[in-house]
Amino acid sequence: MFVPPKLLRVLAFDTSISLQRVPMQLGGLVFLRYVSITQWFEDLDDVVSNNPNLETRVVSGNGAPTIHLPSSIWKPPHLRHLELGNSYMVDPPSVDNENLQTLSWVVRPIHCRQKVYNKFPNIKNLKIFLKDDIEPSHIRGCCNNPIILDHFDYLVRLEKLSILNSIDLNAALPEECMYPSRLKKLKLSETNISEEDLNVIAKLPQLEVLKLENAFHGAVWKVVERGFSNLRFLLIEAKELKQWVVGQKHFRMLRHLVLRSCNCLEQIPECFERIPLLLSIRLEGCHSSLFVSAKQLQQNRRSNKDVKVRS
Protein backbone atom coordinates (compact mmCIF):
# COMPACT_ATOMS: atom_id res chain seq x y z
CA MET A 1 0.00 0.00 0.00
CA PHE A 2 1.44 3.34 -1.07
CA VAL A 3 1.44 6.11 1.52
CA PRO A 4 1.86 9.69 0.22
CA PRO A 5 5.11 11.14 1.64
CA LYS A 6 3.36 14.05 3.33
CA LEU A 7 1.32 11.56 5.42
CA LEU A 8 4.38 9.83 6.89
CA ARG A 9 4.31 9.42 10.65
CA VAL A 10 7.68 7.66 11.12
CA LEU A 11 10.96 8.79 9.53
CA ALA A 12 14.22 6.98 10.27
CA PHE A 13 17.34 7.08 8.09
CA ASP A 14 21.12 7.28 8.09
CA THR A 15 22.16 10.85 7.30
CA SER A 16 25.52 9.66 5.97
CA ILE A 17 23.51 8.95 2.82
CA SER A 18 23.15 11.97 0.55
CA LEU A 19 20.09 13.96 1.54
CA GLN A 20 19.33 14.42 -2.15
CA ARG A 21 17.92 10.91 -2.03
CA VAL A 22 15.14 12.03 0.29
CA PRO A 23 12.33 12.67 -2.24
CA MET A 24 10.42 15.31 -0.29
CA GLN A 25 10.56 18.61 1.49
CA LEU A 26 11.06 17.64 5.11
CA GLY A 27 9.23 20.70 6.34
CA GLY A 28 6.04 19.43 4.70
CA LEU A 29 5.84 16.28 6.83
CA VAL A 30 3.30 17.78 9.18
CA PHE A 31 2.00 14.40 10.45
CA LEU A 32 5.34 13.10 11.69
CA ARG A 33 5.28 11.50 15.13
CA TYR A 34 8.76 9.90 15.17
CA VAL A 35 12.11 11.02 13.71
CA SER A 36 15.36 9.05 14.10
CA ILE A 37 18.60 10.12 12.41
CA THR A 38 22.30 9.44 12.92
CA GLN A 39 23.51 13.01 12.41
CA TRP A 40 21.97 16.46 12.71
CA PHE A 41 21.51 18.43 9.50
CA GLU A 42 20.35 21.97 8.83
CA ASP A 43 16.99 21.18 7.25
CA LEU A 44 15.90 19.40 10.40
CA ASP A 45 14.95 22.79 11.84
CA ASP A 46 12.05 22.81 9.40
CA VAL A 47 10.83 19.47 10.69
CA VAL A 48 10.76 20.87 14.22
CA SER A 49 9.10 24.14 13.35
CA ASN A 50 6.36 22.74 11.13
CA ASN A 51 5.43 19.50 12.89
CA PRO A 52 3.26 20.18 15.94
CA ASN A 53 2.49 16.42 16.24
CA LEU A 54 6.12 15.32 16.69
CA GLU A 55 6.44 13.14 19.82
CA THR A 56 9.81 11.36 19.49
CA ARG A 57 13.15 12.59 18.23
CA VAL A 58 16.37 10.55 18.21
CA VAL A 59 19.73 11.96 17.06
CA SER A 60 22.07 9.07 17.73
CA GLY A 61 25.48 10.41 16.71
CA ASN A 62 28.32 9.84 19.19
CA GLY A 63 31.88 11.11 19.30
CA ALA A 64 33.63 14.47 19.15
CA PRO A 65 33.48 17.41 18.83
CA THR A 66 30.33 18.46 20.67
CA ILE A 67 27.77 20.22 18.48
CA HIS A 68 25.32 22.80 19.83
CA LEU A 69 21.76 22.31 18.64
CA PRO A 70 19.21 25.14 18.30
CA SER A 71 16.67 25.72 21.06
CA SER A 72 13.89 24.97 18.55
CA ILE A 73 14.48 21.31 19.39
CA TRP A 74 12.16 21.86 22.40
CA LYS A 75 9.43 23.50 20.29
CA PRO A 76 7.04 20.61 19.43
CA PRO A 77 4.23 20.95 22.00
CA HIS A 78 3.68 17.19 22.27
CA LEU A 79 7.34 16.17 22.52
CA ARG A 80 7.53 13.12 24.80
CA HIS A 81 10.90 11.50 23.98
CA LEU A 82 14.13 13.34 23.15
CA GLU A 83 17.27 11.21 22.81
CA LEU A 84 20.54 12.88 21.82
CA GLY A 85 23.89 11.12 21.44
CA ASN A 86 26.90 12.42 23.34
CA SER A 87 27.96 14.60 20.41
CA TYR A 88 25.04 17.01 20.83
CA MET A 89 24.46 19.71 23.44
CA VAL A 90 21.41 21.93 23.78
CA ASP A 91 20.62 24.62 26.34
CA PRO A 92 17.72 23.92 28.73
CA PRO A 93 14.25 24.99 27.57
CA SER A 94 12.87 28.35 28.65
CA VAL A 95 9.43 26.95 29.52
CA ASP A 96 8.13 23.84 31.29
CA ASN A 97 7.53 20.67 29.31
CA GLU A 98 4.99 18.53 31.12
CA ASN A 99 4.76 15.95 28.31
CA LEU A 100 8.43 14.94 28.25
CA GLN A 101 8.98 11.42 29.61
CA THR A 102 12.38 10.46 28.14
CA LEU A 103 15.43 12.72 27.95
CA SER A 104 18.96 11.75 26.94
CA TRP A 105 21.28 14.74 26.51
CA VAL A 106 24.68 16.30 27.01
CA VAL A 107 24.53 18.80 29.84
CA ARG A 108 26.92 21.15 31.59
CA PRO A 109 27.26 20.55 35.35
CA ILE A 110 25.89 24.06 36.02
CA HIS A 111 22.64 22.97 34.35
CA CYS A 112 22.36 19.73 36.31
CA ARG A 113 20.21 21.46 38.91
CA GLN A 114 16.69 21.31 40.29
CA LYS A 115 15.65 24.57 38.62
CA VAL A 116 16.35 22.94 35.24
CA TYR A 117 14.83 19.53 35.85
CA ASN A 118 11.72 21.03 37.42
CA LYS A 119 10.86 21.93 33.83
CA PHE A 120 10.27 18.20 33.23
CA PRO A 121 7.87 17.29 36.08
CA ASN A 122 6.75 14.00 34.49
CA ILE A 123 10.15 12.69 33.37
CA LYS A 124 10.50 8.89 33.73
CA ASN A 125 13.77 8.14 31.94
CA LEU A 126 16.75 10.50 32.28
CA LYS A 127 20.22 9.96 30.81
CA ILE A 128 22.87 12.62 31.40
CA PHE A 129 26.21 12.97 29.61
CA LEU A 130 28.21 15.42 31.74
CA LYS A 131 30.47 17.60 29.63
CA ASP A 132 31.68 21.18 29.50
CA ASP A 133 32.79 23.66 26.85
CA ILE A 134 35.99 24.39 28.76
CA GLU A 135 39.07 22.56 27.60
CA PRO A 136 39.75 19.50 29.80
CA SER A 137 43.22 20.78 30.75
CA HIS A 138 41.64 24.00 32.03
CA ILE A 139 39.07 22.07 34.03
CA ARG A 140 41.74 20.02 35.77
CA GLY A 141 43.99 23.00 36.35
CA CYS A 142 41.47 25.53 37.67
CA CYS A 143 40.46 23.64 40.80
CA ASN A 144 41.11 20.30 42.46
CA ASN A 145 37.71 20.27 44.16
CA PRO A 146 34.98 18.41 42.27
CA ILE A 147 31.89 20.07 40.85
CA ILE A 148 29.02 18.91 43.08
CA LEU A 149 25.86 17.91 41.24
CA ASP A 150 22.33 18.09 42.57
CA HIS A 151 19.99 15.64 44.28
CA PHE A 152 17.32 13.96 42.14
CA ASP A 153 14.64 13.09 44.67
CA TYR A 154 12.35 15.88 43.41
CA LEU A 155 11.84 13.93 40.14
CA VAL A 156 9.08 11.92 41.76
CA ARG A 157 8.09 9.99 38.60
CA LEU A 158 11.64 9.05 37.60
CA GLU A 159 12.14 5.29 37.04
CA LYS A 160 15.45 5.18 35.17
CA LEU A 161 18.51 7.39 35.74
CA SER A 162 21.93 7.29 34.06
CA ILE A 163 24.77 9.71 34.82
CA LEU A 164 27.83 9.36 32.59
CA ASN A 165 30.66 11.70 33.46
CA SER A 166 33.33 12.88 31.05
CA ILE A 167 36.63 11.32 32.11
CA ASP A 168 38.31 14.74 32.22
CA LEU A 169 35.55 16.43 34.22
CA ASN A 170 35.90 16.36 38.01
CA ALA A 171 32.27 16.02 39.10
CA ALA A 172 30.66 14.27 42.03
CA LEU A 173 27.26 13.65 43.57
CA PRO A 174 26.43 15.42 46.82
CA GLU A 175 26.95 13.73 50.17
CA GLU A 176 24.27 11.07 50.61
CA CYS A 177 22.64 11.99 47.31
CA MET A 178 18.89 11.37 47.42
CA TYR A 179 17.03 9.55 44.68
CA PRO A 180 13.34 9.14 43.79
CA SER A 181 11.64 6.23 45.56
CA ARG A 182 10.22 4.94 42.25
CA LEU A 183 13.68 4.46 40.72
CA LYS A 184 14.04 1.01 39.10
CA LYS A 185 17.26 1.40 37.10
CA LEU A 186 20.36 3.39 38.07
CA LYS A 187 23.65 3.71 36.19
CA LEU A 188 26.58 5.80 37.47
CA SER A 189 29.77 6.13 35.44
CA GLU A 190 32.94 7.99 36.53
CA THR A 191 31.19 9.68 39.46
CA ASN A 192 32.76 9.90 42.91
CA ILE A 193 30.35 8.25 45.34
CA SER A 194 31.12 7.05 48.85
CA GLU A 195 30.11 4.01 50.88
CA GLU A 196 27.43 6.19 52.49
CA ASP A 197 26.05 6.95 49.01
CA LEU A 198 25.85 3.23 48.29
CA ASN A 199 23.94 2.71 51.52
CA VAL A 200 21.37 5.29 50.39
CA ILE A 201 21.04 3.53 47.02
CA ALA A 202 20.72 0.16 48.78
CA LYS A 203 17.52 1.29 50.47
CA LEU A 204 15.67 2.22 47.28
CA PRO A 205 12.62 -0.05 47.51
CA GLN A 206 12.00 -0.62 43.78
CA LEU A 207 15.57 -0.66 42.43
CA GLU A 208 16.02 -3.63 40.06
CA VAL A 209 19.13 -2.73 38.03
CA LEU A 210 22.31 -1.07 39.34
CA LYS A 211 25.41 -0.39 37.23
CA LEU A 212 28.47 1.17 38.88
CA GLU A 213 31.21 1.93 36.32
CA ASN A 214 34.23 3.42 38.13
CA ALA A 215 31.74 5.24 40.31
CA PHE A 216 32.99 3.95 43.69
CA HIS A 217 36.70 4.27 44.53
CA GLY A 218 36.77 2.94 48.08
CA ALA A 219 38.74 -0.13 49.18
CA VAL A 220 35.96 -1.49 51.42
CA TRP A 221 32.22 -1.75 50.80
CA LYS A 222 30.10 -3.03 53.66
CA VAL A 223 26.54 -3.37 52.40
CA VAL A 224 23.97 -1.82 54.71
CA GLU A 225 21.60 -4.18 56.56
CA ARG A 226 18.75 -5.49 54.39
CA GLY A 227 20.17 -3.61 51.43
CA PHE A 228 19.13 -4.12 47.80
CA SER A 229 16.02 -6.09 48.68
CA ASN A 230 14.61 -5.98 45.14
CA LEU A 231 17.75 -5.87 42.96
CA ARG A 232 17.84 -8.24 39.95
CA PHE A 233 20.99 -7.13 38.09
CA LEU A 234 24.24 -5.74 39.55
CA LEU A 235 27.34 -4.55 37.66
CA ILE A 236 30.39 -3.40 39.60
CA GLU A 237 33.48 -1.90 37.96
CA ALA A 238 35.75 -0.94 40.85
CA LYS A 239 39.51 -1.12 40.43
CA GLU A 240 40.31 -0.26 44.07
CA LEU A 241 37.76 -2.47 45.83
CA LYS A 242 39.55 -4.98 48.08
CA GLN A 243 36.90 -6.09 50.54
CA TRP A 244 33.19 -6.58 49.86
CA VAL A 245 31.17 -7.37 52.98
CA VAL A 246 27.74 -8.84 52.25
CA GLY A 247 25.28 -10.34 54.75
CA GLN A 248 22.82 -13.20 54.40
CA LYS A 249 19.82 -10.89 53.92
CA HIS A 250 21.30 -8.87 51.07
CA PHE A 251 20.59 -9.27 47.34
CA ARG A 252 17.87 -11.87 47.94
CA MET A 253 16.29 -11.25 44.51
CA LEU A 254 19.56 -11.01 42.53
CA ARG A 255 19.70 -12.98 39.29
CA HIS A 256 22.78 -11.66 37.48
CA LEU A 257 26.11 -10.37 38.82
CA VAL A 258 28.81 -8.76 36.65
CA LEU A 259 32.23 -7.85 38.08
CA ARG A 260 34.46 -5.81 35.77
CA SER A 261 38.08 -4.69 36.32
CA CYS A 262 37.95 -5.65 39.99
CA ASN A 263 41.71 -6.06 40.11
CA CYS A 264 42.05 -5.98 43.92
CA LEU A 265 39.03 -8.07 44.88
CA GLU A 266 40.06 -11.69 45.39
CA GLN A 267 36.89 -13.34 46.65
CA ILE A 268 33.16 -13.26 46.07
CA PRO A 269 31.29 -13.11 49.41
CA GLU A 270 30.18 -16.57 50.57
CA CYS A 271 26.59 -15.48 51.07
CA PHE A 272 26.13 -15.51 47.29
CA GLU A 273 26.03 -19.29 47.59
CA ARG A 274 22.66 -18.95 49.33
CA ILE A 275 20.97 -16.46 47.01
CA PRO A 276 18.17 -18.65 45.66
CA LEU A 277 17.50 -16.88 42.35
CA LEU A 278 21.09 -16.24 41.23
CA LEU A 279 21.55 -17.45 37.63
CA SER A 280 24.87 -16.07 36.40
CA ILE A 281 28.17 -14.49 37.41
CA ARG A 282 30.26 -12.78 34.73
CA LEU A 283 33.85 -11.70 35.32
CA GLU A 284 35.57 -9.21 32.99
CA GLY A 285 39.24 -8.34 33.48
CA CYS A 286 39.25 -9.33 37.17
CA HIS A 287 41.85 -10.85 39.50
CA SER A 288 42.49 -14.53 38.67
CA SER A 289 41.60 -15.61 42.22
CA LEU A 290 38.15 -14.09 41.76
CA PHE A 291 37.46 -16.58 38.99
CA VAL A 292 38.55 -19.41 41.29
CA SER A 293 36.22 -18.03 43.98
CA ALA A 294 33.31 -17.94 41.52
CA LYS A 295 33.94 -21.55 40.48
CA GLN A 296 34.02 -22.60 44.12
CA LEU A 297 30.75 -20.79 44.72
CA GLN A 298 29.26 -22.64 41.77
CA GLN A 299 30.23 -25.98 43.30
CA ASN A 300 28.95 -25.10 46.77
CA ARG A 301 25.50 -24.03 45.69
CA ARG A 302 22.81 -25.47 47.90
CA SER A 303 20.08 -24.52 45.47
CA ASN A 304 18.91 -26.78 42.65
CA LYS A 305 19.57 -23.97 40.20
CA ASP A 306 23.02 -23.88 38.59
CA VAL A 307 24.93 -20.62 38.39
CA LYS A 308 26.69 -19.96 35.10
CA VAL A 309 30.18 -18.51 35.58
CA ARG A 310 31.62 -16.70 32.57
CA SER A 311 34.73 -14.67 31.90
Q: What is the largest CA-CA distance in the chain?
A: 66
Contacts of 58 (CB under 8 A, 6+ apart): 12, 35, 36, 37, 81, 83
Q: How many domains does the chain have?
A: 1
Residue 280, SS3? strand
Amino acid at 197: D
pLDDT of res. 16? 59
pLDDT of res. 21? 45
Rounded-to-integer distance, Cα 72 and Cα 224, Å: 46
Q: Shortest CA distance to 231 belongs to which of 205, 212, 269?
A: 205
Phi, psi of 196 (to 5 degrees): -65, -40
Q: Shortest CA distance to 198 belongs to which of 144, 239, 236, 157?
A: 236
Q: Shortest CA distance to 204 belongs to which of 227, 223, 172, 236?
A: 227
pLDDT band at 29 (very low <50, low <70, confident <90, very high): confident
Rounded-to-integer distance, Cα 63 and Cα 88, Å: 9
Report whether 58 contacts 83 (CB < 8 A). yes
Question: Model confidence over 138-184: pLDDT tens digits?
Answer: 344 344 566 777 888 899 999 999 999 876 667 777 766 789 999 99
222 within some domain? yes
Rounded-to-integer distance, Cα 259 and Cα 284, Å: 6
What's the pTM value of the predicted model, to 2 decimals? 0.88
Lowest mean pLDDT among 108-112, 141-145, 221-225, 262-266: 141-145
Average pLDDT value for residue range 10-36: 68
Question: Model confidence over 60-106: pLDDT tens digits?
Answer: 888 777 888 888 889 888 999 999 998 888 999 999 999 999 999 99
294 pLDDT exceeds 50?
yes
Q: Which domain holds residue 216?
A: 193-311
pLDDT of res. 35? 86
Q: Which secondary-structure segment (H or E) carries 102? A: strand 102-107
The DSSP output letter for 48 is H
- Chain centroid offset of residue 196 CA: 21
302 or 37, higher pLDDT: 37
pLDDT of res. 286? 93
Q: How many CB atoms lie within 10 A of CB 230?
A: 14
136 pLDDT exceeds 60?
no
Question: Model confidence over 239-280: pLDDT tens digits?
Answer: 999 999 998 888 999 999 999 999 999 999 988 988 889 999
pLDDT of res. 135? 42
- Tell me what the pLDDT averaged over the chain comes to: 84
Contacts of 206 (CB under 8 A, 6+ apart): 181, 182, 183, 184, 230
pLDDT of res. 133? 55
Lowest mean pLDDT among 27-31, 67-71, 118-122, 267-271: 27-31
Average pLDDT value for residue range 40-50: 71
102 or 17, higher pLDDT: 102
49 or 60, higher pLDDT: 60
